[in-house]
Structure 1
Amino acid sequence: MDRAAVTLDDPVSIGGLRLRNRLYRAPLLECAGNGPDAVDTLIADLEPAAASGAGLIHQGATIISGEGGCAAPGMTRVHDPAFIEDLSRLTETIHTHGARIAIQLEHGGLRSMEVWHAGYRTEHPDLDQLAVSRPPWPLRLLDRVGFLDLSPHVLSTAEVEELAADFGRAAARAVDSGYDMVHIAGANMGIVQQFLSPFYNRRDDRFGIDPDVGAGVAFLELLAEEIRERAGDVPLITKVPSERPTFPGIGPHLTDVDAVRVCERLEKAGYDGVVPVRTSVFWDMSVVRGEFPTAAWREPRFRDGYREAFGSLPRAAAVAIGNWIESFAYDFEPGWNRSLCRRVRERVGIPVLCEGGLRERAEMDDTLDRDADLVGMGRPFYAEPELPARLLGEVDPGVRAVCENCNNCAVAQAAGESGVCRTPSVLMHAGRLRKHGAYDRSASTNDDGRL
């Protein structure tokens, strides 16, 4: 499909929702929870990106259920109508700055804390995990040696349909509270990826692997039906994984070809945009490529959290060793999803969103010219909450985020720590930029955002 060359500053529409530019804050763990300060925490985390000019802000993975399903400590749940009604304060704040906000809906399934977090499992001994099928052998092996604690509840067909309805109900509550878009968390080993992936999905009902696609796409198709029925014509997007980064010998898994086919089916199912990503079948450093987070693992104040999460300090050390090995397999690669996005963009007529390793303005414009319709960043916002102010407008095309991809922001979240930059050199760099006014911006408020 021929498309005119665009830049980061150009507006774009997704499902009738007009965005003032093509830069978005990708979903991150805000670690806000559901306590009395949760909404204020979310506003503090997300408002700076809107105020500094980003077109679209994502609230990170938000759990649809009131029990289980959280993949990490501090995740926010949206099962409670009273709580999500209070989230209208967040959406109103984002809209004040002329930006739009999406909520990413998630359920962890076999990635949930009741599988891997020892302290959480002790507090919830009777809490089973929702499973698409019997867990694959690598997870059963880790359970046998004590690194995981599996007690899976394999969903019946009726329970799958009810789970989809839970997504629809959560979406409806979100739309009533002012969210402009719904984003299904379709990757990072959440339950939606588990439905898609032949590594996890060995069902023999209609939610099994579709041989014409190579993936279990029926669950995502049902989610679209439920969300449309309950939440109306809200713009709907999802991540779509290729599991190509999976270590050799582990499979079967989704290929790039499978991911392209899934995106084609989802366009027909009514999705308004897709976010193609390459991630393995495990929750590992294929998600956050970069350096081994040495400082975070060695930080004494996190040790109690690691002990609680992994059961003991020796087990935490074993996890750290595995993390170190992964850092060699998943070294940082600028724009590591670009070629997959390009393949999808050539086959679909809906917007393609690209994230993963984009750091420089010129690189983003090139991505928009060749590979995608919007570009996003995640971890760099931990160090620079107002990063869009430096990237948008008449700027040097060589301007780039100060993030060094060290991952010290991410691994500590397993210990219940918030997602913030903890690397002194990065924070000093951002501090110098702030001192010289690099983040000063008067973001104008546009129209109501809809065509």
Structure 2
Amino acid sequence: MVRLEDPLDIGGLTVPNRLYRAPLLECAGNGAGAVDALVSHLEPAAAAGAGLLCQGATIVRGPGGCAAPNMTYVDDPDFVSRLSELTETVHDHGSTIAIQLEHGGLRSMETWHAGYRAEHPDYQQLAVSPLPPLLSLADRLGILSYDPVVMSTEEVYDLAADFGRAAGYAVDAGYDAVHVAGANMGIVHQFLSPFYNRRKDEFADGVRFLEVVHDEIRDRAGDVPLLTKVPAETEAPPGVPRLTSRETVHVCRRLADYGYDALVPVTGSVFWDASIVRGAFPEQAWRDDRFHDGYVEAFGGRLRAALVVLGNWLESFVYDFEPAWNAGICRAVRRTVDVPVLAEGGIRTRGEIDRLLGHSCDMVGMGRPFYAEPRLPARLLGSTPETSVVCASCNNCTVPQVTGVGGVCRTPDVLRKAGRLRRDGAYERPDECEGSPPSRE
């Protein structure tokens, strides 16, 4: 029987237990306070006992390429070297840390954020292929704004080299693992997806890009444990070319055989929609006057912002919360590969964790619940099946991030529950000062 408290080997890295903080938007940027902001976001989870922390998506090449405001670039070795303060802090608590590497491609802010586009009119999107017809229509209707640059074969190799360089900088700064952002409609997902990828060269096979990224990372960062998300586009609209679950399993088998040390299969769509953050309509966040001007700036006016709110409301009926919604694809992948499979998405109770481990996955991750409970691991490790997170999956934490603010819980009922638990000492760990550094075989 596999337990949450059991250690796990990922590519020679011994992770002290099987609970990880999934990648989140820290919105720390690259300014003078970036490192302090990242430490404040991530240290509580390490201090509370999380086995692995995944720093949220960092961009391997600038300018542009950010999918959301205030994402952190990791293309400057001097800046990345300063992140050793973060990795040392995590290691002091006996935990491990991975950095997630990404480029937004067609999903970048220069596509959807009107204010950013007006400020940077010369920025173009990196594209795997010419725009799919549906996105061309959205561009003509003014819903989105595209000025894509379709990469040549040589330019694709250059982008893969950027992933490798960023990984090398990160390992030098003390990161224990590298996590390639392979889903959520970023550039890696776009290579894998038949909706986006209609190339005629070797990269018509989207897995080839992940293979080249693997080789670049190995050349520049050595044998660092290497993880990637892999999408199954199960939520794509009917008639749209998609990566099926069966094809995703095949992709995962190829990546494991090629040398990836762990895989994170997830379901979603071909669009950036609520399928990746299933839950309730975040009415409170949309009505919050503090963010109103930011929404108007991001979406290009009051009417357009109102239409986005309407679309989000309609999506909430389609993508209502579903417990452990990626369990099925994780289980299918785990049956076919011999590397650890990590599951995230809608995991909310210790009982669910116990049912998933050893059956559907080898490690479990949570994202949004950490916004409400930064020290959540202290409650889950060693707990009973009835233990549940306080997160209501209401998404009031995520919507304001389009304005550039950090992700925090803003739902009063949830905050009151977390406050009561804090006063009762639920987030205290008697062994906090007894952590030891992670080991590598």
* TM-score using structure 2 length: 0.99
1:146 deviates by 1.2
The aligned counterpart of 2:170 is: 174
The answer to whether structure 1 residue 97 and structure 2 residue 87 are counterparts is no
2:91–2:437 contact (8 Å) kept in structure 1: no
Alignment-mate amino acid for residue 396 of structure 2: N
The aligned counterpart of 2:220 is: 230
The aligned counterpart of 1:322 is: 311
Alignment-mate amino acid for residue 416 of structure 2: M
The aligned counterpart of 1:255 is: 244
Unmatched tracts of structure 2, length 5 or more? none
1:142 deviates by 1.4
Pairs within 5 Å for 1:63-78: 63-78=59-74
The answer to whether structure 1 residue 402 and structure 2 residue 390 are counterparts is yes
1:416 deviates by 1.6
Alignment-mate amino acid for residue 6 of structure 2: D
Pairs within 5 Å for 1:47-62: 47-62=43-58
The aligned counterpart of 2:280 is: 291
The answer to whether structure 1 residue 388 and structure 2 residue 377 are counterparts is yes
The answer to whether structure 1 residue 245 and structure 2 residue 235 are counterparts is yes
Pairs within 5 Å for 1:198-217: 198-209=194-205, 216-217=206-207
1:248 deviates by 2.0
1:22 deviates by 0.2
Q: Distance in 1 between matches of 2:112 and 2:420?
A: 40
Q: Distance in 2 between matches of 1:10 and 1:206?
A: 41
1:447 deviates by 4.6
1:94–1:100 contact (8 Å) kept in structure 2: yes
1:66–1:80 contact (8 Å) kept in structure 2: no
The aligned counterpart of 1:147 is: 143
Q: Distance in 1 between matches of 2:11 and 2:129?
A: 34
The aligned counterpart of 1:419 is: 407
The aligned counterpart of 1:219 is: 209
1:372 deviates by 0.3
* 1:207 partner SS: helix
1:143 deviates by 1.1
The aligned counterpart of 1:38 is: 34
The aligned counterpart of 1:17 is: 13
The answer to whether structure 1 residue 106 and structure 2 residue 107 are counterparts is no
1:228 deviates by 0.3
1:54 deviates by 0.4
1:415 deviates by 1.6
2:15–2:438 contact (8 Å) kept in structure 1: no
The aligned counterpart of 1:450 is: 440
1:247 deviates by 2.1
* 2:9 partner SS: strand
1:321 deviates by 0.8
1:267 deviates by 0.8
Between 325-334 and 173-182, the greater mean CA deviation after superposition:
325-334
| Number of residue pairs the alignment of both structures matches | 439
Q: Deviations over 1:355-377 (max 9, x none)?
A: 00000011101100310000000
1:449 deviates by 1.9
Q: Distance in 1 between matches of 2:337 and 2:146?
A: 39
* 1:376 partner SS: strand
1:47–1:93 contact (8 Å) kept in structure 2: yes
1:448 deviates by 3.6
Q: Distance in 1 between matches of 2:62 and 2:83?
A: 17
Q: 2:153 aligns with which of 149, 153, 157?
A: 157
| Percentage of identical aligned residues | 64
1:276–1:337 contact (8 Å) kept in structure 2: yes
Q: Distance in 2 between matches of 1:449 and 1:325?
A: 48
Pairs within 5 Å for 1:363-378: 363-378=352-367
* 1:142 partner SS: helix
The aligned counterpart of 1:266 is: 255
1:273–1:351 contact (8 Å) kept in structure 2: yes
Q: 2:337 aligns with which of 341, 348, 363?
A: 348
Q: 1:308 aligns with which of 297, 316, 331?
A: 297
Q: 1:433 aligns with which of 415, 421, 435?
A: 421
Q: Distance in 2 between matches of 1:149 and 1:448?
A: 46
Between 140-149 and 60-69, the greater mean CA deviation after superposition:
140-149
* 2:357 partner SS: helix
1:347 deviates by 0.2
Unmatched tracts of structure 1, length 5 or more? 210-215
Q: Distance in 2 between matches of 1:84 and 1:78?
A: 6
1:313 deviates by 1.1
Q: 1:362 aligns with which of 321, 343, 351?
A: 351
1:135 deviates by 1.3
Q: Deviations over 1:253-305 (max 9, x none)?
A: 00100110000000111100000000100110011000011011111111110
Q: Distance in 1 between matches of 2:393 and 2:69?
A: 22
Between 395-404 and 98-107, the greater mean CA deviation after superposition:
395-404
Alignment-mate amino acid for residue 254 of structure 1: L
Q: Distance in 1 between matches of 2:395 and 2:35?
A: 26
1:70–1:112 contact (8 Å) kept in structure 2: yes
The aligned counterpart of 1:212 is: none
The answer to whether structure 1 residue 128 and structure 2 residue 116 are counterparts is no
* 2:72 partner SS: coil
The aligned counterpart of 1:213 is: none
The answer to whether structure 1 residue 188 and structure 2 residue 177 are counterparts is no
1:339 deviates by 0.8
Q: Deviations over 1:29-79 (max 9, x none)?
A: 000000000000000000000000000001000001121110000100001
1:62–1:76 contact (8 Å) kept in structure 2: yes
Q: Distance in 1 between matches of 2:358 and 2:171?
A: 32
The aligned counterpart of 2:24 is: 28
2:253–2:337 contact (8 Å) kept in structure 1: yes
Alignment-mate amino acid for residue 314 of structure 2: I
2:92–2:437 contact (8 Å) kept in structure 1: no
* 1:130 partner SS: strand
* TM-score using structure 1 length: 0.96
